[in-house]
């Protein structure tokens, strides 16, 4: 009797733990396009194309190597629509001796997997996902007895564990973190070499047609679709990044330029998250680029920190803080998400550009997600569950394990400061310094209050005032209240009234964008 190996849509890796030590002759691989996964939130159309097309290509690659792949397409008339239903049907078809599966990335799916053994007539082995560098046990050991789970210390542990950018037990060149060198505003006319886009082949075109038909009411442009859907394409995208963009990745990591959507970012998150690229192989390539003099340390260390630092850290944080993290709302934020997050129709040029790239590409780069979209949600007091749904829907790289810590922890402070030591609240000044958005905006970034003022300015103080009790004792942000107090009551009133007026003008999102009724 064969071993049944279900492989999920974000596990498309030949080095997957569930395939280790198995031979094609004694294994049935099960891959399932299921309605539940495609609609538990109404994912961006390109995200569904990416996953289904990459799954279909991966199945073909496995078959070419001699594996038996039982592939359930979305339109299969017998398709039950859920992982559990499809695994149960596959057990009937193949009568396996056991099910072997790599643990899921998301809590929701993990809970379902835990029930398989009780429902099915064969043992179920859930294996660790060895694509990640840190184990759950290692993260728990790190988190034990710590109030703030400071990423930097975890990151150093990961550097020691992998040996990346290390000289024995010391960081190469003696410095762990070169973030201070990586905050350059964009210079006039900044343009980065373009990222490769991959023309859809017949498989992808068939999926595009399917998604156009079955998911027409989901957010986002279906085409042009250019994401890598095979390991070969993902490696080509990585080659292009290492050859032409890594060098300036560091300095311009926080820069934003109108309609320059990718800048010097790698654009590799979709490929890493679904298994086409391995996080460690990318870090080793970045390290090699430094050692051979092709890229400076600040860029290389910055890139490596995002991957073996932040990415590993948020994954550990997610499993450590779930299921409570999904409900966390420390600041008691309850305002509905504005409709313009879905339509892009706002006069705020920074937000409309970030939402445009999100709609067109199912992508926005980090500082857009953090300091424009995220900062707005924080200081406008938007309900964390609605914000989390939005981020999970709109980005092709979004899976709850990585999206939720970034939303609840990094941007909204909804976790009460377990992840970030202070809320990343900022006025229009920050966006003006780090982008070219403000020059063409209908609002004036230098104006603090009134109908023409940049809305970030009054919203910032409105947020600070509303959360004074919670934030004043925070040593990283508390001092700001001295400035607020010095303003005097009349100025304070102007700020608060401007903010209230703006908030009252926001139209709440109409129902049905993020979830089916
Ligand atoms: P680069 O800038 O080239 O960075 C290299 C890699 O580092 C990324 O590919 C990614 O794997 C990793 N990385 C960088 N920052 C983070 C981070 N904060 N957390 C985890 N990994 C990171 N990333 C996702 O992969 N999925 C998400 O759902 C997601 N949601 C986010 C939500 C918010 C509110 C914020 C602030 C960030 C989110 N990020 C998410 C992190 C980051 O914005 C994206 O990983 C990045 O924009 C992807 O583009 P890139 O590959 O060009 O990244
Ligand atoms: C995101 C996604 C979508 C849209 N569809 C599927 C699918 O039909 N089949 C599948 O195996 N995986 C899909 N995925 C990815 C899963 O949601 C992901 O594997 C889980 O959320 C666990 O991280
Ligand atoms: Fe954004 Fe304000 Fe600048 Fe307009 S003025 S682009 S709203 S920061």
- Here the ipTM equals 0.99
pLDDT, tens digit (0-9, with 9 covering 90-100), for 420-470: 989 999 999 999 999 999 999 999 999 999 999 999 999 999 999 999 999
Q: What is the pLDDT of residue 510?
A: 87
Q: Is the pLDDT of residue 484 over 90?
A: yes
pLDDT, tens digit (0-9, with 9 covering 90-100), for 330-358: 999 999 999 999 999 999 999 999 999 99
DSSP H or E run through 29 = strand 27-32
Nearest CA to ligand 3 atom 7: 348
Q: What is the pLDDT of residue 476?
A: 86
350 within ligand 3 shell (Cβ under 6 A): yes
- The ligand placed nearest to the CA atom of residue 457 is 3
> Mean of the pLDDT values across residues 405-423?
95
Residues in contact with ligand 1 (CB, 6 Å cut-off): 265-269, 272-273, 303, 306-307, 310-311, 314, 365-366, 369-370, 374, 391, 395, 397-398, 402-403, 406-407, 410-411
Cα of 437 from ligand 3 centre, angstroms: 6
Residue of 443, 498, 502, 506 to test ligand 3 pocket, by largest number of atoms within 8 Å of CB: 443
What is the rounded distance in angstroms from the CA atom of residue 412 to the CA atom of residue 395?
18
502: its two tokens: 């703006």
CATH topology of domain 3-127: Rossmann fold (3.40.50)
Nearest CA to ligand 1 atom 52: 267
> Mean of the pLDDT values across residues 273-296?
98
Every domain range in the chain assigned CATH 3.40.50.620: 3-127
- The ligand placed nearest to the CA atom of residue 308 is 1
Return the bridge partners of 102, or none.
Answer: 127
Q: What is the pLDDT of residue 475?
A: 87
Whether pTM > 0.95 for this model: the answer is yes
Every domain range in the chain assigned CATH 1.10.579.10: 340-504
CATH number attached to the domain at 136-195+245-321: 1.25.40.80
What is the rounded distance in angstroms from the CA atom of residue 481 to the CA atom of residue 499?
18
Q: Is the pLDDT of residue 407 over 80?
A: yes
* Architecture in CATH for domain 340-504: Orthogonal Bundle (1.10)
Three-state secondary structure along 196-220?
CCCCCCHHHHHHHHHHHHHCCCCCC
pLDDT, tens digit (0-9, with 9 covering 90-100), for 108-150: 999 999 999 999 999 999 999 999 999 999 999 999 988 788 9
Cα of 137 from ligand 3 centre, angstroms: 44
CB 302 within 8 A of CB 250: yes
CB 185 within 8 A of CB 255: yes
Cα of 177 from ligand 1 centre, angstroms: 18
Provide the 10 A C-beta neighbour count for residue 450: 13
**Which residue from 154, 174, 82 is spatially nearest to 119, judged by alpha carbons?**
82
Q: What is the DSSP string of 31-55?
A: EE--HHHHHTTT--HHHHHHHHHHH
Q: Is the pLDDT of residue 87 over 80?
A: yes
Residue of 38, 47, 51, 227 to test ligand 2 pocket, by largest number of atoms within 8 Å of CB: 51
Q: What is the pLDDT of residue 370?
A: 97
Ligand 3 atom having least distance to the Cα of 442? 4
Q: What is the pLDDT of residue 22?
A: 97
pLDDT, tens digit (0-9, with 9 covering 90-100), for 181-219: 998 999 999 999 999 999 999 999 999 999 999 999 999
CB 349 within 8 A of CB 442: yes
> Mean of the pLDDT values across residues 17-29?
97
106 within ligand 2 shell (Cβ under 6 A): yes
Q: Is the pLDDT of residue 511 over 80?
A: no
Cα of 309 from ligand 3 centre, angstroms: 31
């Amino acid at each position: 009797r064969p071993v049944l190996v279900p492989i999920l849509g974000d596990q498309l890796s030949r080095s997957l733990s569930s395939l280790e030590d198995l031979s094609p002759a004694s294994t049935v691989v099960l891959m399932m396009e299921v309605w539940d996964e495609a609609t538990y939130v109404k994912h961006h159309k390109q995200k569904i194309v990416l996953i289904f097309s990459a799954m279909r290509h991966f199945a073909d690659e496995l078959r070419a190597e001699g594996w038996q792949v039982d592939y359930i397409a979305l339109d299969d008339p017998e398709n039950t629509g859920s992982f559990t239903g499809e695994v149960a049907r596959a057990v009937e078809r193949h009568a396996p001796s056991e099910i072997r599966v790599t643990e899921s990335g998301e809590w929701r799916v993990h809970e379902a997997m835990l029930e398989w053994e009780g429902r099915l007539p064969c043992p179920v082995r859930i294996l660790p996902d060895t694509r990640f560098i840190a184990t759950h046990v290692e993260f728990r050991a790190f988190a034990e007895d710590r109030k703030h789970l400071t990423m930097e210390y975890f990151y150093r542990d990961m550097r020691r564990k992998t040996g990346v950018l290390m000289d024995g037990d010391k960081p190469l060149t003696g410095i762990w973190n070169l973030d201070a060198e990586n905050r350059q505003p964009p210079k006039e006319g900044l343009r980065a070499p373009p990222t490769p886009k991959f023309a859809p082949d017949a498989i992808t075109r068939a999926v595009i047609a399917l998604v156009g038909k079955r998911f027409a009411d989901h957010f986002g442009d279906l085409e042009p679709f250019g994401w890598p859907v095979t390991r070969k394409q993902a490696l080509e995208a990585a080659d292009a990044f290492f050859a032409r963009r890594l060098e300036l990745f560091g300095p311009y990591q926080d820069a934003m330029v109108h309609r320059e959507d990718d800048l010097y970012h790698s654009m590799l998150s979709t490929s890493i998250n679904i298994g086409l690229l391995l996080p460690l192989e990318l870090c080793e390539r970045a390290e090699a680029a430094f050692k051979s003099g092709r890229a400076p340390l600040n860029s290389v260390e910055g890139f490596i920190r995002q991957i073996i630092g932040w990415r590993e850290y948020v994954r550990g944080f997610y499993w450590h803080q779930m299921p409570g993290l999904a409900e966390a709302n420390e600041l008691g934020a309850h305002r509905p998400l504005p409709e313009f997050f879905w339509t892009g129709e706002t006069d705020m040029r920074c937000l409309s550009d970030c939402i445009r790239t999100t709609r067109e590409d199912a992508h926005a780069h980090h500082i857009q997600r953090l300091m424009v979209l995220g900062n707005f949600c924080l200081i406008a007091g938007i309900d964390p569950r609605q914000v989390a749904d939005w981020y999970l829907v709109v980005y092709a790289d979004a899976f709850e394990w990585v999206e939720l810590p970034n939303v609840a922890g990094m941007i909204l402070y909804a976790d009460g400061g377990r992840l970030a030591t202070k809320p990343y609240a900022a006025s229009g000044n920050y966006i003006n310094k780090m982008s070219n958005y403000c020059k063409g905006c209908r609002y004036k970034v230098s104006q603090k209050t009134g109908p023409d003022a940049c809305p970030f300015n009054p919203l910032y103080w409105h947020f600070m005032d509303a959360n004074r009790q919670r934030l004043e004792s925070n040593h990283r942000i508390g001092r700001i209240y001295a400035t607020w107090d010095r303003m005097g009551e009349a100025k304070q009133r102007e700020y608060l009234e401007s903010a209230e007026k703006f908030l009252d003008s926001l139209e709440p999102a109409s129902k049905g964008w993020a979830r089916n009724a």
